Amino acid sequence: MATLRALKRFSSILNVFIKFHLDELIDELGANKRTKIILFLLPRRWFRGKADQPRGERIRLALEELGPLYVKFGQSLSTRPDLLPEDIAKELSKLQDDVPPFAEEIVLEIMTETYPDGIDEIFSEFDAKALASASVAQAHAARLISGEEVIVKIIRPNIWEQIKEDMNILFLIANLLSKFSIAKRLKPIEVVKDYQKTVLHELDLMREAANCAQIRRNWEGSSIIKVPEIHWDFCRKNILVQERIHGIPIDNTEKLKELGVDFEQLAKNGVRIFFTQVFHHNLFHADMHPGNVFVDVADPSNPKYAAVDFGIVGSLEEKDREYLAKSFNAFFEKDYGQIANNFISAGWVPDETKANEFESAIRTVCDPIADKPLEEISFGQLLFRLFETARDFNMVNQPQLIQLEKTLLNIEGLGRQLYPKLDLVSSAKPVMEEWRKEQLSITNTFKKIHKDLPEIKKTIESIPPLMRKILDEDENKQNSPQVDISYFVRQLYMGIIGVGFLIVGAVLLGFNQAAAFSIIAIGLIVLLISKPKQ
């Protein structure tokens, strides 16, 4: 039954594909003769007229007709200008994830099933009519018994079955496309895999709640951003209950202007928020389109961002952040050799990459950007150009960096829409410099030691048995030169004591820094004494 349903769905997708003349794109992708013959034999192709719309528009219309999952897929693709021609990416950016809500009766049925004691025990008010509706979930206004206004987000019923079916078809299409010579560059299977991961994460609202709660903790007490509180007692995998955020949508510039909002300050705060999330918090909101960002205008001279919808977040490994910051700094110093070495050292391009050739290619794309006035420089465009160049040198797929690039382009676009003369460099550089200082500080070094204490303890505990083994083996040697093994054992134990002082100091860092640094100093002295004679 499931197979029959899938075949029927695939047939309907193929009909839409032909209806919008998307089969004509096959020639551009380098299809073989067999594929062309199969397409030619499809009857629907015989009785249609000529395509009278640009290819990008036809692709957008086809995705809209196929439904929510494909609309979302098109939106995802629109953020990948590294993969798509500009005309198609631009057209796909017009796709709106706005679908009709499911019936109010179904909403109440889901709520009753989720809260068997009755929703009246939790909510004094609950509006079954959707406040907003998208492809994966919809939002409802409500009020808790305690009086707090909340938003209740509900996953669409039976969506998992639909997504599973459509994802199988997307993988089938991706496999077919991967056999076309030109389409291989688009990496269709990798693109669909990344999209599948994103959609599956969005289906788990407990994951979204955890993301939101962590980002709220990161910004606790902030004067520039507000993040909603999660009401954990009422959250489930298919339902999220969070504080309702009131504010002006960030794209409603007329209203913001009317209220006297300082657009320059708002734009600068947005850049500061993003770079702080990336470099200091290592958890950034990766879906910062205008529908998810509001402005709290209680103080128009220092407007506060209010973010919602944390289904998609991003993070980078420590080495990614380090080499990213180094590359930004190298760009401003026009040290393109350093950028090339950073990409190789970070593992973003293969080790065998010829650094001099890579440096030359980087210089070609970076010099035109570097010579622009500061208010015209785009970090997002810089990353895009660097990654585009790196792909010519077989760049390893780095989805976390692509996610960063996409979000950065969104932030910059939003910032310059608010304040066209926004100087991203002066807004972002202090945040990165502060992060670099933190990384080089002795406090941060010992924090890392504190973090690695279990491994250090395990290593130290393994040393005495190892030494006993070495001593036993030495005694069993018959004709070996005589060596004062006891001297080395003493030095080793002095070293262990020194490391012990360092560990105790690292533990105390969070309680008494003066005492901690004193103990650490003693540890360093002991380690110097324990250094073996040359």
Mean pLDDT of 297-324: 89
DSSP single-letter state for residue 397:
P
Label residues 250-269 b or e (16+ Cβ within 10 Å = b).
beeeeebeeeebbbebbbbb
Q: How far apart are CA 227 and CA 308, in angstroms?
A: 7
Note the pLDDT of residue 86: 75
Over residues 114-171, the pLDDT tens digits come to 999 899 999 999 999 999 888 889 999 999 999 999 999 999 888 887 787 788 888 8
| pLDDT over threshold 80, residue 280 | yes
| pLDDT over threshold 80, residue 49 | no
Sign of the dihedral through C-alpha 76, 79, 81, 82: negative
Distances 28 to 55, 75, 188 between C-alpha atoms, Å: 11, 22, 15
Note the pLDDT of residue 256: 92
Note the pLDDT of residue 373: 80
Confidence of residue 488 (pLDDT cuts 50, 70, 90): low
Q: How far apart are CA 33 and CA 46, in angstroms?
A: 18
The percent of residues above 70 in pLDDT, for the chain, comes to 72
Q: How far apart are CA 430 and CA 259, in angstroms?
A: 30
Q: Give the closest residue to 493 by CA, choosing from 468, 472, 476.
A: 468
| pLDDT over threshold 70, residue 37 | no
Which helix (H) or strand (E) segment holds residue 324: the answer is helix 318-332
By annotation, the residues acting in catalysis are: 287
User: What's the burial of 313, exposed, middle or buried (CB within 10 Å: 0-12/13-18/19+)?
Assistant: buried
What rounded mean pLDDT belongs to the chain? 79
What residue spans of 394-512 are helical by DSSP H?
A: 399-418, 424-440, 442-451, 453-476, 485-508
Rama region for 50: left / alpha / beta (φ>0; ψ in -120 to 50; rest): beta
Higher pLDDT, 447 or 439: 439
Of 12-21, 51-60, 343-352, 483-492, the one with minimum mean pLDDT is 483-492
- Contacts for 306 with CB less than 8 Å, ≥ 6 apart: 225, 226, 227, 228, 245, 246, 247, 293, 294, 295, 296
Note the pLDDT of residue 32: 55
Q: How far apart are CA 154 and CA 107, in angstroms?
A: 8
Distances 532 to 128, 463, 485 between C-alpha atoms, Å: 76, 17, 12
SS (H, E, C) 7-30: HHHHHHHHHHHHHCCHHHHHHHHC
User: What's the burial of 370, exposed, middle or buried (CB within 10 Å: 0-12/13-18/19+)?
Assistant: middle
Instruction: Provide the residue count of the chain.
Output: 534
- Contacts for 244 with CB less than 8 Å, ≥ 6 apart: 141, 149, 150, 151, 228
Note the pLDDT of residue 115: 94
Q: How far apart are CA 427 and CA 429, in angstroms?
A: 6
Note the pLDDT of residue 436: 78
Note the pLDDT of residue 489: 59
Mean pLDDT of 184-196: 74
Q: How far apart are CA 347 and CA 341, in angstroms?
A: 10
Over residues 95-123, the pLDDT tens digits come to 766 678 889 999 999 999 999 989 999 99
Coil/strand/helix, residue 351: coil
| pLDDT over threshold 80, residue 39 | no
Over residues 329-355, the pLDDT tens digits come to 888 889 999 999 999 999 999 999 999
Neighbours of 99 (CB within 10 A): 16
Whether the CB-CB separation of 8 and 14 falls below 8 Å is answered with no
Label residues 274-302 b or e (16+ Cβ within 10 Å = b).
bbbbbbeeebbbbbbbebbbbbbbeeeee
Mean pLDDT of 73-78: 77
**DSSP string over 188-205:** HHHHHHHHHHHHHHHH-H
- The angle formed by the CA atoms of residues 261, 264 and 267, to the nearest 5 degrees, is 95
User: What's the burial of 373, exposed, middle or buried (CB within 10 Å: 0-12/13-18/19+)?
Assistant: exposed
Over residues 446-461, the pLDDT tens digits come to 555 556 556 655 655 5
Q: How far apart are CA 82 and CA 219, in angstroms?
A: 32
Label residues 100-118 b or e (16+ Cβ within 10 Å = b).
ebbeeeebeebbeeebeee
DSSP single-letter state for residue 156:
P
Higher pLDDT, 427 or 464: 427
Give the largest CA-CA distance in the chain.
Answer: 97
Over residues 203-222, the pLDDT tens digits come to 899 999 999 999 999 999 99
Provide the token pair at 122.
Answer: 């939790």
| pLDDT over threshold 70, residue 463 | no
